[in-house]
Amino acid sequence: MKTEIILVLAAVQLAYGVINRLNESEYARLPPLFRLDDFDGCLLAPGDKYCYFDGKILDGDSELHTLIKEYSANLRTHFDHTLFHWGLCVTQTCRQYYGNSTVEDALDACINATLYKSHQLQAKLVRQNFFCTDFGEADPYDTSDYVVAVVFLTLLMLNVFGTIHDLFFQTNKSFLSRLLLCFSVRRNWKKLVMPSGEGPDPKLKSLKCLHGLKAMTAVLVILGHSPLTAFIAVGNPRYPEEIYHKVFYQVLLNGTQIVQIFFTISGFLLAYNILVTSEKQRISWQTLPQGVILRWLRLTPVYAVIIAFISTWLRHLSSGPLWKPAVNTEVLDCRRDWWLHLLYIDNYVDLSQCIPQSWYISGDMQLSIIGMAIFCLCQGPRSRKIAIAIAFAIGLITPAAHTFFQNLHAVLIVSPEMAGYFFVEDPTYNNLYKRGHTNLVCYAMGLALGMLMYDLYGQEDTKGKKKYRLLFWATVPVGLGLIMLGMMFYIDDFEIPLFVRVVYSSAIKMCFGACVCGMIAGTLMKLDSVVRGILEWQGWTAISRVSYCAYLINVCVIRCSLAGYNSLQHISFFHMILNYCSILAVTYMLSAPCWLLVESPVAQLIKLCLEGGNHKKPDVTVKDDSPKSKDQEISNNDKTEVVTTYL
């Protein structure tokens, strides 16, 4: 059995390997794809100039040029070697051309001469894509920087006052006092680390395992994002090209499906929570705008804080050869597009580098509105089921239609050229991957599962569930297998027929969503204690609570770590592992303060204002100072915790 597996793997490796690959000595003939001159050693005196740019190799008839062309024809697994990305010290490397002419002309002549000398190739500058840094250049601080600084300081002061108030004067029960208490870091910390599902409703308590699933998915999503840096400024571009031929890395490359777990959970939680709420409160069409506004209020402040930071202070943090192309591009795009993000429609607008991963947040918002509309406008379970079925059908048809009419890939192809720039120009990413309606299918399955699990609540202990156990255990390997199936799209020189792509593009989401649903259902039905034990582990809870912040921050962390490099990196397996670990650590270290200082206070502020509007007695009663009662007080106040957990 083992040898067979090895044989199959070897065959797959071979199928990947034989076609269109260059051996080391041939590869060494290609002109350098990346090059970085010393940045600090360049900007020494007034007038010094450093430029990072794209250059294009011009058509020629040399044998080397044919080789480059042939090798670059397969953009799925190869860089486009006719396009190179260099950072040159114009005033040193290109001094002889930079006398009277403009930078563009100097670079044009300089790279042509350099490549002509080394490789007998002609080249020119790609004029829309170059970033120069002058000696002593500093981005001036403008009004928006100061405004954002004032807002951030105010937030920080609120947290300081809130904490002091909590520590020393917490007996006062006025509105102002309760308002300040929302900002108490001590209380928020307790909320962060408290066990989940301690609220009064046992139905919500059973959702504990979702924390584990969410936390793991977030950690895996960051794993999927972390190698993006491997495609920019690498000293050994052959390595990232080789990873496509390694089975292990194929799991990562096809891991883009994993975000469907979030959509499924989101749909599930929405349906389940609405049904639980409807026991106490009538759900009518008025609930819809309320729900949308609440969700917007809950998600937007922390999002706005992060966009504000990216649009203003981020650009002052550092500098380097890659700082402008990697970070300033995002800054400029965020200054232009921030409102699209705050309205949650940015996933319908292309070509923006501003928080590229936020497409999920917008998609989830759009789908939540659809989900809420289904539950608020359709009252009976029957009409709801029909509406969910229609949504499901739309979710199945749209990806297939996009693939068919726009001739797209069936899944997002993580190609070296596209990945380095966060896919902003990739038609599959723009039309199929990031839109709301193309991700409807898993969301609809989540909604259906929510209704089902709500109906099945209390029947966990029925006999005969043993026969489902195998099915439950199968969900993980089958899910993994579905992910691996995407390998076929990376086989060199093998175009998958359109018909297969059309079917695959919608079927893969449905099948993967079915696995996730099976996993959630099995865990909630207590089919197996090992998996449930893992998912319900206490440690996931805090990680899961900060996952919204972590999701918003992680790509920025990746960008900054990349832009911090002053020279080309040599990628290796261990480099990738270390890179991932450090990005993970930094992301969560920043997410915790983001949650403590912004997200959690805002969530409580909203709750407080709603209570204030209803003139209800506050849940919070602080008399006893013993730690136990305080924990109790916090968790009572937090009974709707699972409801308001996003991402």
Ligand X SMILES: *[C@@H]1O[C@H](CO)[C@@H](O)[C@H](O)[C@H]1NC(C)=O
The nearest distance, CB 91 to ligand X, in angstroms, is: 13
The nearest distance, CB 244 to ligand X, in angstroms, is: 20
Closest CA to 453 of 271, 201, 208: 271
Q: Whole-angstrom Cα distance, residue 276 to residue 289?
A: 19
Cα separation values, 414 from 225, 357, 399, 562, Å: 11, 14, 18, 18
The nearest distance, CB 20 to ligand X, in angstroms, is: 12
Residue among 88 and 412 whose Cβ is closer to ligand X: 88
Residue among 67 and 622 whose Cβ is closer to ligand X: 67
The nearest distance, CB 128 to ligand X, in angstroms, is: 18
The greatest distance separating any two alpha carbons of the chain, rounded to the nearest whole angstrom, comes to: 87
Q: Whole-angstrom Cα distance, residue 532 to residue 75?
A: 42
Q: Residue 248 has which token pair?
A: 């292990």
The nearest distance, CB 23 to ligand X, in angstroms, is: 4
Backbone phi, then psi, for 86, in 5-degree steps?
Answer: -125, 150
The nearest distance, CB 38 to ligand X, in angstroms, is: 23
The nearest distance, CB 122 to ligand X, in angstroms, is: 4
- The residue ranges that bind ligand X (CB under 6 A) are 23, 25-26, 99-100, 112-113, 116, 122, 124
Which class for 345: exposed (0-12), middle (13-18), buried (19 or more C-beta within 10 A)?
Answer: middle
Closest CA to 219 of 249, 270, 255: 255
Residue among 28 and 530 whose Cβ is closer to ligand X: 28
545-559 exposure pattern, b = at least 16 Cβ within 10 A, e = fewer: bbbbbbbbbbbbbbb
3-state secondary structure 35-69: EECCCCCCCCCCCCEEEEEEEEECCCCCHHHHHHH
The nearest distance, CB 67 to ligand X, in angstroms, is: 10
| Residues 6 or more apart whose Cβ sits within 8 Å of residue 154 | none
Residue among 67 and 507 whose Cβ is closer to ligand X: 67
Exposure of 486 in the CB half-sphere (CA atoms within 13 A): 30
Residue among 26 and 63 whose Cβ is closer to ligand X: 26
Residue among 99 and 613 whose Cβ is closer to ligand X: 99
Strand 49-57 and strand 123-134: pairing? antiparallel
Residue among 124 and 575 whose Cβ is closer to ligand X: 124
The nearest distance, CB 97 to ligand X, in angstroms, is: 7
C-alpha gyration radius of the chain? 27
Residue among 109 and 605 whose Cβ is closer to ligand X: 109
**Of all residues in this chain, which one has the CB nearest to ligand X in the complex?**
99
Q: Residue 157 has which token pair?
A: 């002061």
Residue among 64 and 294 whose Cβ is closer to ligand X: 64
